[in-house]
A and B are shown apart, each in its own frame.
Chain A
Amino acid sequence: MTSSPDPSSVDLSDLRAADPVRMADLPRASDPDAVALLQRVSAISSPTPAQARRGLRNRFVPLGAVAAAFLVVVVGFTVFSPSNTETALATVKTAAQEVAAADSGRATTGFEVDGVSNGVSDRAAGTAVLTFNGNNFAVTLDLDDLPQELKDQSDGMGDLLSEVETRFVDGVIYGRGGPVDDWIAVELPSVFIDQIRETADPRSVLETVQTLVETEEVGATTIEGVEVTHYQSIVDLDEKSLAESGWLAGVDSQIDVDTDGTLTVDLFVTGAGQLIKIDVFGTLAATEATDSMTATFSISTLFTDLNAVAPITAPEGVVPTPFLAGELFEEPGS
């Protein structure tokens, strides 16, 4: 194994010279202690399939929550507020605000989450298309892949979630999906309207996303035939939790998944100074004492049709029913 050269002020050869371990002093695999260790390890019984499934059940639910939450984050990423003033950051910020200033537009997000727990792999994948016009939104969620454990638990929930269409129009949520062809509608109290608007509106999260502290220009490339400049930012979740970094505070406090890892954020800005694509790749790691769980996620969002989306309207023939507190949600603060 060799290390790649990397220009920096600290020489790696100095670091190598500071290695506290001398390989010549180390035990060999044939030493009695090593042989005994191998025998002890090989005597460990493997987890039963039932144990492995229980582990998955406990882990992929929060993973699914993380995946769903990151969808929101990526949509919200259109208007982040970088916290330093480097040129690249300033360019990206301005480009994002171009999108934020749009009256209407479309964000198409594809996502994949792969997790490994107790040696068992599973994944979730899908596409979300969010269209906005003024204060109204339409979201179509198409899940290609759900973790098997979730499918098993939800008795058809996988089918239900496979293609869900939602509209948020003038304070009413309309939805249909899976085996349900007819629209249903719920009229929400204003407190929920505000919460949903803050979460879903790609133009309203300027205050909540403050993580980008380093961004650098990578080079030129082409997206959908458009020449763009590629920028990249690394968000180090080892140093800050999601909540500390300003991301997903609610999710971070509710799920038992640590946020060690790294987010690599690739941003693409057109020559006209408009942010048209964001790719986020990252890893999360669990902190449980006995087993480790890792998840890798990849999310790509493409912004199109800025200021060119027709008004979003309520489906015809659907009568909204009043929201009944406690039936679907608890009122905030109750």
Chain B
Amino acid sequence: MASSDPFDALFNSTYPQVVAYARRRTANAQDADDVVAEIYATAWRRRDQLNSIQTPLAWLYGIGLNVVRNLRRGDRRHLRLVGAAQSQAAAATHASDPADAIQIRDALATIPDDDAELLRLVAWEGLSHSEAGDVLGCSANAIGIRLHRARQRLDAALSPTSNPPHQNKASNQ
């Protein structure tokens, strides 16, 4: 759907990725829809910034970060969001998911929120360090340091379990 309106163009070019972002951080599709709506509503209020936005997805994810945080802080209902470990992991599980994937998601839900968020941005949203830095408000260099630490914490969260997938790969390095 072609449109000359910059906001329409932003919406059309980013909608699936933003839906994916929201679903990765919520317990069910309804909550995800709420997050998506709030992200775009906030983006609409700030549409005068669109011309200066270099990476629209990173900008939207940055808005999403605040939306998810605000929902978590502001409303008991949103305890179902990321941070409520079991519910998130359970809801996000596909019937066909391998056990390793479930194990990793369980571990991801037990580490500090900010570590988990950084790992999601890099691994699931596919952001570069620089783009993740744009979302989280720090330098690419800082992202590198934080990412290393986050992966160490994820590794520690996985270590008590039996045969997590990373252990074999780590042993080959």
**In the bound complex, CA of A12 to CA of B166 (Å):** 9
| Bound form: Cα–Cα A11–B37 in Å | 33
Majority-rule SS of A interface residues = loop
Assembly CA distance A214 to B145 (angstroms): 10
A contact residues, total (Cβ < 8 Å): 61
A262 to B114, CA, bound (A): 10
Known contacts A1-B128, A3-B128; is-contact A9 B170 (Cβ 8 Å): yes
| Contact flags A4-44 to B (C-beta < 8 A → 1, else 0) | 10111111101111111111001111100110011011101
Question: Which of chain B's residues have a CB closer than 8 A to the CB of A46?
Answer: 45
CB distance from B38 to the nearest CB of A (A): 9
Q: Would A2 and B11 be within 8 Å (CB), given that A46-B45, A288-B70, A292-B63 are in contact?
A: no
Cβ-based interface call for A206 (8 A): no
Contact pattern, B 89-113, Cβ under 8 Å of A = 1, otherwise 0 = 0001110011011101100100011
Given A20-B94, A29-B12, A40-B37, residue A262 in contact with residue B138 (CB < 8 A): yes
- Tell me how many residue pairs across A and B have CB atoms closer than 8 Å: 189
13 new A-B contacts, CB < 8 A, other than A12-B123, A15-B154, A264-B139, are A1-B57, A2-B126, A9-B170, A11-B166, A18-B101, A19-B123, A21-B20, A21-B24, A29-B1, A41-B41, A236-B146, A283-B138, A289-B74
10 tightest A-B CB contacts, nearest first: A20-B92, A283-B137, A15-B123, A292-B66, A8-B151, A18-B104, A29-B15, A238-B114, A18-B101, A119-B46
Measured CB to CB, the residues of B under 8 A from A are: 1, 7-8, 11-13, 15-16, 19-20, 23-24, 33, 36-37, 40-42, 44-46, 48-49, 57, 63, 66-67, 69-70, 73-74, 92-94, 97-98, 100-102, 104-105, 108, 112-114, 119, 122-129, 131, 136-139, 141-142, 144-149, 151-152, 154-155, 158, 165-166, 169-170, 173
